[in-house]
Structure 1
Amino acid sequence: MKKNYQFLFLLFAIAFNVTAKEYHVDCTNKSLGNGSVSNPFKTISQAAAIMVKGDVCYIHKGTYRENIVPKNSGTASKPILFTSFENDIVIVSATDQVSGWEKYSGNIYKKSGVNLGLGDGNNVFFNSKKMQLARWPNDADNDEYTLDAKYIDMTKGTYSMSYISNNEIPNIDWTGGTIHYLGAHSGCSWERTITNYEKDLNRIHFKTLPDEWPFGDTHSPMRTENGHRGIFYLMNKLEALDAPKEWYYDTQKKELYLYAPEGKNPNNDLVEVTSRLNVAEITRDYIHFNKLNFFGGMITIKGNHNEITNCMVKHGSDKLITNLTGAALSDAAIQVLNGSNNTIEKCVLESGTVNGIIISKDAEDNRIENNIIQYFNTIGIHAQLLNSSGARNKILKNSFYGSARDGVKVTGDDSEFAYNHVQKCLISGADGGLFYVTGRSIPVNVEVHHNWFHDAYGAKHAGKKAVGIYLDNNAAGYIVHHNVVWDIEWGGLHLNWNAVKNEIYNNTFWNVGHAEQALIDSWVPKRDGVQTNVAENTLYNNISDVRPWWHSGDGTKYRVDEKEFEGTEADNDFKNNVQFSTLPFSIEKSSLFMPLKDSPIIDKANKIKKITDGFIGAAPDLGAYEFGGKAWTAGVDWTSEGFAWTPGNDYKKLEFINKAKSKR
């Protein structure tokens, strides 16, 4: 009888598996097809509308100008899979091609009857490279981070909350155009529609800025800092279209103008415009994307147990921020808006004016692992390469590179940020960090460990305000251990306002600011008439080069002694932290940051439960590495190959080696 049951179960399993189907899609098919290998569907959407658990969609080479929206869910054992056929290069694009250009004037070409309907999300691409909306002054170096902007006039009466002046502004009617402005504080940029241009006064008008943050006196012409009141450039007028790689769109006449690179005739190359916000919207469960390329639009996830692996997303979150009322925007190349147990692994996300990855507060237990995420937040708002605010998310072994302001932000309860490599942030902004968070003085239990953070140097206009690990306004409950922070402009660690109950163990800080820059800075002003204070934080076993340990104050009257970390007046538990005048660790690639033989950091650390467990020798070692232990590395452990575009190599940079040798 038992054998009969086993036989029936086998038959049932076979019958169940037979129901799973294989579909093929080929955009070159002249008919809609039936999904078979001999007569494939023409679009991915045809397959997405009928696929059920266990089905596989093989997509043949080509560019698919559509938005993938799966209709049904898969299951844990039978997910729905969308993947490339064999090693075909598949591109899913949010753009449409534009052809049939006519010469307008000089090297400028025009195309009539173009319907660009995404407003601030409109973009033009030439051979997959993003073009610049017509502007003054021109983007001379083709680098969005450098801004190539002008300083506003500082003479009294030439600036306000509703206008700025500069006598170099070209004499054209800027009304209806856009101003991009980054204030003297440089912590957040904004853009506004130009409401009027006064030719005689060289003055640009816009709707009066709100009094509240982020505007007010913080990010507006009313603030003087770093010797100026802000920088700006102007965009979005046909008369400003005077350089290669620029474009303009007349919304009334539906005419698109383009000055192609090198003055080329655009009819001989691929010109695309954004037509859709998304390239994929996953609102179901157990949907897998593998070996696909996405261009010009976002992947939005609102489901559970979905996986995106071995994919590339290029220009997924490129947009302006005209008339934005706040300092942040939720758009991202990949945004996980709700759901749980989603995975993004071994993907490349590259290029965007705003965020790389957003994991919202309603998205929990997700995993972001082994991804390359670079060149985001070129526009300079509170955007990041990754921002995770959901609970229990794990961000592991990713390589992050390039942001105008902050690098990464992880604030969700019980989350983990580990073995990541974060570098080259605060490129054009300021008052931020490679790792930057704020809080409510309520511990969140976020563990930040075994990461590399380095290379944060602000631009001249921004001042020296780039931090390594920045636990800003009321951040609480961060367990920060075994990280290496180096080559930073403005301190290795900042704790502001009522930052409490953070635990900082066994970190290595080196070359974090000029010689007189404190390793730790605390900004503790009065808030609503009450004095704030950084307190109840624990700091053990950290090492650094020689510099002041700690500085606290509010820049005016209130100042805590620089030795606030020790003595009866101390509010924090600060023990066994040591500074060295020479390098106590290796700078060789094969053993980077490992303690040198006979180093004074060996066996000198306090034992800390769950932090220094598994040490070698009589006691744990100071700093982030253990002599004789694993020479751990941070960042991705794979080579990016086989994508539609070759990713930039900047994420591989490890510049400590040369800088450290010069200090030895």
Structure 2
Amino acid sequence: MKKIFQLLFFIILATCQVFAKEYHVDAANVSQGDGSIHNPFKTIQQAADVMKKGDICYIHKGTYRENIVPKNSGSKRKPIIYTKYKNDVVIVTATEKVTNWELHSGNIYKAKNVNMPLGAGNNVYFNHQKMQIARWPNNVDYNEYTLDAKFIDKRKGTYSMSYISNNEIPDFDWRGGVIHYLGAHSGCSWERTITGYSKDLHRVHFNTLPDKWPFGKTHSPTRLENGHRGIFYLMNKLEALDAPNEWYYDTTAKELYFYAPDGKNPAKDHVEISTRENTANINKNYIHFEGLNFFGGMITIKGSYNKVTNCMVKNGTDRLITDLNGAALSNAAIQVMEGYFNTLEKCVLENGTLNGVYLSRKSESNKVENCIIQNFNTIGLHAALLISDGKRNQILNNSLYGSARDGVKVSGDDSEFAYNHVQKCLISGADGGLFYVTGRSIPKNIEVHHNWFHDAYADDHHAGKKATGIYLDNNSAGYIVHHNVVWDVEWGGLHFNWNAVQNKIYNNTFWNVGKPDQALIDCWVPKRNGKQTNVQDNVLYNNISDVRPWWHSGDGEKYRVDEKEYIGKDADNDFENNHQFSELPFLVAINSLFVPFKGSPLIDKGQKIKKITTNFKNKAPDLGAYEFGAKAWVPGVNWTPKGFAWTPSSNYKKLEIKSIKKQN
């Protein structure tokens, strides 16, 4: 009987293979082709228009300047697959080449009859590196995170909700240009079209900012904080084009001006411009992308059971945020806007002004696993390396590095964020966290466990010291945060705000989280609508830290709870069996980092917590994030990227523990 079933299985499999088709695509083909290996299609879209369940598309080496839009869905057993042919390097790009250069003046060259249709999404790339729109002052280090900006005048009458002043502004007509502004609060940047310029006052004008968040009194020149009223730079005028890497596009004449990095004629180099927002739109189900490279545009998914594996997306989301009325945009290198059970696995996502990965509220039960996501949100908006708003999403074993503001945001009910390595965030902004969320005081049941969070220091040049580890901001509720390690941040390890309730904080290790007088846990609890807010009904057990104040709650000098927040008759939270140590209670060797050493005061000192302190080794669980005698877990990816079109930055591998060693 077993042999009969095996025979039937192979017959069914052979039948499926007979009906499935194999297509080939080669951009080098001089004709449109028929999809065969001997006469392949010229474009991927030709294959996408005819492929059905079980079909596979082999894409030969080359650059494909198109947006892939599958016409049909696959099925569970017969997905539609797009993959590279053998070990070929395939690039799908949202850009077009520019070659017709002529000298304009000095080191500036000009190309005529250039169509750049994306407005705020226009970009120029030189050998696959993003260039800078012409600006003042110049970006001297070519690092988008270091803003190289100027402080606005703060004298009365030199600023308002519709203009800013600075005596250094060059005297040419800035009308039609763009101002980039980051306020003294440093929590959110904005950009506005310049509507006028007063030469005598060295003042640029723009449409009046809305009197609401994020503008209003928080992110506008009216706010004085950290000794200033904000920093700015100006862009998008030909007169400002005076340095390598800069470009300007004349939308009326359709002429592109460019100062190449080497100052030479760029005709022999690879100069490209953005012409499409997307490199792929997956609006169907059971579509698989494997082993491909995407450049200059987003992958947008609005379907279910799709997979993107072993792919690289470089510069997938570059744009200005001119005249935006809010604090966020969903644009991401890979964005899942609708659908269920989509998977991103073993991908490299690198470089972008906005988000790395975005999972919308309409996308549920998706998985992002074993991906490298680095250097996003260079523009300082409420964007992040990864944002997950949908329910039941899983974010597992990823390495995430580099953001002007927050690291990650996970806010969808019943989601999981586990075994991830998040570092180097709040580079140029403040009032955020490596893990940052807001809520409505309604429990979310989101589990955040076995992660490393470290290296969050806002730029001292302009930003306040408000970069924290795990930030459960306004009314966050129902987060189960356990077995995480937070270190080397400047504003506390854990932050609650307003009516943050019913969060459970177990077995976390916090170390070097701010100056010695910085509290481990901070809360901002002002009055709202005449009623005093307060964090309450939170449970905190088995956590450890270095020696510092445990808890601070307040709203300036108006309302201050301090130590009573966790002990005494005024305590609103269940705070038990948490300990601080003046000497390191764990190892700092790379292969056993944060693990209790033999005889450590952490061993067997923890309380038993149902579903949290499982599989402990001795009489009782240990304190902190690691268990003595158990295998030391290491978060982040477990593979090395090879065979992509570009060599990824190795930043995601960084692991700074010098400050911890100094305390040994």
What is the TM-score when the length of structure 1 is the normalising length? 0.99
Q: Which residue of 2 aligns with 1:652?
A: 653
Does structure 1 retain, via aligned residues, the 8 Å contact 2:564–2:570? no
Query: Does 1:159 find its partner at 2:159?
Result: yes
**CA distance in structure 2 between the aligned counterparts of 1:654 and 1:2, rounded to whole angstroms:** 53
Query: Does 1:404 find its partner at 2:436?
Result: no
Report the Cα offset of residue 562 of structure 1: 2.5
**CA distance in structure 2 between the aligned counterparts of 1:569 and 1:167, rounded to whole angstroms:** 53
Matches within 5 A, 1:225-264: 225-264=225-264
Query: Does 1:605 find its partner at 2:606?
Result: yes
Q: Which residue of 1 aligns with 2:350?
A: 350
Aligned residue identity for 1:217: K
Does structure 1 retain, via aligned residues, the 8 Å contact 2:377–2:385? yes
Report the Cα offset of residue 13 of structure 1: 5.1
**CA distance in structure 1 between the aligned counterparts of 2:182 and 2:201, rounded to whole angstroms:** 21
What SS does the corresponding residue of 1:164 show, helix, strand or coil? strand
**CA distance in structure 2 between the aligned counterparts of 1:290 and 1:10, rounded to whole angstroms:** 26
What SS does the corresponding residue of 1:285 show, helix, strand or coil? coil
Q: Deviations over 1:208-244 (max 9, x none)?
A: 0011000001000000000100000000000000000
Q: Deviations over 1:482-510 (max 9, x none)?
A: 00000000000000000000000000000
Q: Name stretches of at least 5 consecutive residues in structure 1 with no aligned partner.
A: none
Report the Cα offset of residue 7 of structure 1: 7.7
Matches within 5 A, 1:346-385: 346-385=346-385
Q: Name stretches of at least 5 consecutive residues in structure 2 with no aligned partner.
A: none
Moved more, 84-93 or 16-25: 16-25
Q: Deviations over 1:397-455 (max 9, x none)?
A: 00000000000000000000000000000000000000000000000000000000000
In the comparison of the two structures, how many residue pairs are matched?
663
Matches within 5 A, 1:445-484: 445-460=445-460, 461-484=462-485
Q: Which residue of 1 aligns with 2:339?
A: 339
Query: Does 1:321 find its partner at 2:321?
Result: yes
**CA distance in structure 2 between the aligned counterparts of 1:586 and 1:9, rounded to whole angstroms:** 54
Matches within 5 A, 1:35-74: 35-74=35-74
What SS does the corresponding residue of 1:660 show, helix, strand or coil? helix
**CA distance in structure 2 between the aligned counterparts of 1:77 and 1:9, rounded to whole angstroms:** 13
Report the Cα offset of residue 612 of structure 1: 0.2
Q: Which residue of 2 aligns with 1:637?
A: 638
What SS does the corresponding residue of 1:433 show, helix, strand or coil? strand
**CA distance in structure 2 between the aligned counterparts of 1:640 and 1:11, rounded to whole angstroms:** 38
Aligned residue identity for 2:530: G
**CA distance in structure 1 between the aligned counterparts of 2:504 and 2:202, rounded to whole angstroms:** 53
**CA distance in structure 1 between the aligned counterparts of 2:630 and 2:504, rounded to whole angstroms:** 23
**CA distance in structure 1 between the aligned counterparts of 2:467 and 2:30, rounded to whole angstroms:** 55
Aligned residue identity for 1:464: K
Structure 1 pair 265–620 and aligned structure 2 pair: CA distance change class (3 A)? same
**CA distance in structure 1 between the aligned counterparts of 2:552 and 2:53, rounded to whole angstroms:** 59
Q: Which residue of 1 aligns with 2:545?
A: 544
Report the Cα offset of residue 563 of structure 1: 3.1
Matches within 5 A, 1:555-574: 555-574=556-575
Report the Cα offset of residue 151 of structure 1: 0.1
Report the Cα offset of residue 17 of structure 1: 2.5
Does structure 1 retain, via aligned residues, the 8 Å contact 2:499–2:536? yes
Does structure 2 retain, via aligned residues, the 8 Å contact 1:500–1:536? yes
Report the Cα offset of residue 463 of structure 1: 1.2
Aligned residue identity for 1:654: L
**CA distance in structure 1 between the aligned counterparts of 2:242 and 2:367, rounded to whole angstroms:** 46
What SS does the corresponding residue of 1:64 show, helix, strand or coil? strand
Report the Cα offset of residue 14 of structure 1: 3.3
What SS does the corresponding residue of 1:145 show, helix, strand or coil? coil
Aligned residue identity for 1:575: E
What SS does the corresponding residue of 2:468 show, helix, strand or coil? strand
Q: Which residue of 1 aligns with 2:502?
A: 501
**CA distance in structure 2 between the aligned counterparts of 1:502 and 1:655, rounded to whole angstroms:** 29
**CA distance in structure 2 between the aligned counterparts of 1:500 and 1:439, rounded to whole angstroms:** 10
Q: Which residue of 2 aligns with 1:432?
A: 432
**CA distance in structure 2 between the aligned counterparts of 1:13 and 1:609, rounded to whole angstroms:** 46
**CA distance in structure 1 between the aligned counterparts of 2:275 and 2:10, rounded to whole angstroms:** 49
**CA distance in structure 1 between the aligned counterparts of 2:8 and 2:487, rounded to whole angstroms:** 64
**CA distance in structure 1 between the aligned counterparts of 2:122 and 2:655, rounded to whole angstroms:** 36
Q: Which residue of 2 aligns with 1:414?
A: 414
Structure 1 pair 41–492 and aligned structure 2 pair: CA distance change class (3 A)? same
Q: Which residue of 2 aligns with 1:577?
A: 578
**CA distance in structure 2 between the aligned counterparts of 1:168 and 1:644, rounded to whole angstroms:** 43
Query: Does 1:18 find its partner at 2:18?
Result: yes
Report the Cα offset of residue 568 of structure 1: 1.5
Does structure 2 retain, via aligned residues, the 8 Å contact 1:549–1:563? no
**CA distance in structure 2 between the aligned counterparts of 1:11 and 1:647, rounded to whole angstroms:** 44
Does structure 2 retain, via aligned residues, the 8 Å contact 1:73–1:284? yes
Report the Cα offset of residue 16 of structure 1: 3.5
Does structure 1 retain, via aligned residues, the 8 Å contact 2:60–2:88? yes
**CA distance in structure 1 between the aligned counterparts of 2:580 and 2:13, rounded to whole angstroms:** 65
**CA distance in structure 1 between the aligned counterparts of 2:559 and 2:2, rounded to whole angstroms:** 82
Aligned residue identity for 2:140: A
Structure 1 pair 632–215 and aligned structure 2 pair: CA distance change class (3 A)? same
Aligned residue identity for 1:576: N
Does structure 1 retain, via aligned residues, the 8 Å contact 2:175–2:197? yes
Structure 1 pair 11–344 and aligned structure 2 pair: CA distance change class (3 A)? closer
**CA distance in structure 2 between the aligned counterparts of 1:462 and 1:5, rounded to whole angstroms:** 68
Report the Cα offset of residue 560 of structure 1: 1.1
Report the Cα offset of residue 3 of structure 1: 11
Query: Does 1:520 find its partner at 2:516?
Result: no
Which 4+ residue blocks in structure 1 deviate beyond 2 angstroms?
A: 1-17
Q: Which residue of 2 aligns with 1:298?
A: 298
Q: Which residue of 2 aligns with 1:442?
A: 442
Q: Deviations over 1:537-562 (max 9, x none)?
A: 00000000000000000113111133
Does structure 2 retain, via aligned residues, the 8 Å contact 1:420–1:634? yes
**CA distance in structure 2 between the aligned counterparts of 1:14 and 1:210, rounded to whole angstroms:** 64
**CA distance in structure 1 between the aligned counterparts of 2:150 and 2:9, rounded to whole angstroms:** 75
Q: Which residue of 2 aligns with 1:532?
A: 533
Does structure 2 retain, via aligned residues, the 8 Å contact 1:118–1:275? yes
Q: Which residue of 1 aligns with 2:392?
A: 392
**CA distance in structure 2 between the aligned counterparts of 1:395 and 1:440, rounded to whole angstroms:** 22
Aligned residue identity for 1:479: I
Aligned residue identity for 2:608: K
**CA distance in structure 2 between the aligned counterparts of 1:232 and 1:287, rounded to whole angstroms:** 44
Report the Cα offset of residue 617 of structure 1: 0.5
**CA distance in structure 2 between the aligned counterparts of 1:439 and 1:645, rounded to whole angstroms:** 39
What SS does the corresponding residue of 1:17 show, helix, strand or coil? helix
Report the Cα offset of residue 294 of structure 1: 0.1
Does structure 2 retain, via aligned residues, the 8 Å contact 1:372–1:399? yes
**CA distance in structure 2 between the aligned counterparts of 1:449 and 1:149, rounded to whole angstroms:** 38
What SS does the corresponding residue of 1:144 show, helix, strand or coil? coil
Aligned residue identity for 1:56: I
Report the Cα offset of residue 530 of structure 1: 1.1
**CA distance in structure 2 between the aligned counterparts of 1:193 and 1:152, rounded to whole angstroms:** 17
**CA distance in structure 2 between the aligned counterparts of 1:536 and 1:8, rounded to whole angstroms:** 60
Structure 1 pair 3–456 and aligned structure 2 pair: CA distance change class (3 A)? closer
Structure 1 pair 9–587 and aligned structure 2 pair: CA distance change class (3 A)? closer
Matches within 5 A, 1:245-284: 245-284=245-284
Q: Deviations over 1:465-487 (max 9, x none)?
A: 00000000000000000000000
Report the Cα offset of residue 290 of structure 1: 0.4
**CA distance in structure 2 between the aligned counterparts of 1:406 and 1:13, rounded to whole angstroms:** 48
Does structure 2 retain, via aligned residues, the 8 Å contact 1:540–1:575? yes
**CA distance in structure 2 between the aligned counterparts of 1:258 and 1:282, rounded to whole angstroms:** 35
What SS does the corresponding residue of 1:563 show, helix, strand or coil? helix
**CA distance in structure 1 between the aligned counterparts of 2:11 and 2:338, rounded to whole angstroms:** 39
